[in-house]
Amino acid sequence: MAVQKLGRGFVDRIARLIDFRVDERTRGLADRVNNLEHATADHRRRLDNAERNLEEARGDLRWARAELDRLIPHVAAQEGRLETLRESMSLVPKADAPQIAEARTLIEEIQRQHAQIRVRLAGISRYEDRLRRLEDRVEEPVAQ
């Protein structure tokens, strides 16, 4: 009986020694696995964020492409009109000095009127902007 007890104690000591050595070697491995799990979770989060940003960029690109496709015919039409205008200007008949002076006077009058119109439109724009800001101020307390 004493021999059996002594044998079990000896076996228990050897088992604890082996367990201690195994625990020492696996503790570093467990820490490394734990760090890798955290890094993997961080990488997944960053990858999800990158995929979300990429999908937003794709949406923006699709919108920009649709706008470009929509505007191309308009630009082509404007270029056609400019070319027609350029051709008609090159076909202007010769005029004498009084006609040129009268044409210049008319052009100067048109330019003056255009300048007045631009000033008026700028005033209207400022007025509308002030009005919009006032409306925004009135709406803010209601929204809060």
pLDDT digits (tens, 9 = 90+) for 56-84: 999 999 999 999 888 899 888 999 888 88
Domain that holds residue 130: 96-144
Is residue 49 very low, low, confident or very high in pLDDT (cuts 50, 70, 90)? very high
Q: Give a yes or no: residue 138 inside a domain.
A: yes
What's the pTM value of the predicted model, to 2 decimals? Answer: 0.39
Number of domain units in the chain: 1
Asked if the structure places residue 55 within a domain, the reply is no
| Within a domain: 43 | no
Domain assignment present for residue 32? The answer is no
| CA distances to 11, 22, 42, 47, 126 from 16, in Å | 9, 10, 38, 45, 87
Q: Is pLDDT of 127 > 80? A: yes
pLDDT at 22: 65
**Residue pointed to by tokens 């000033």:** 119
Domain presence at residue 74? no
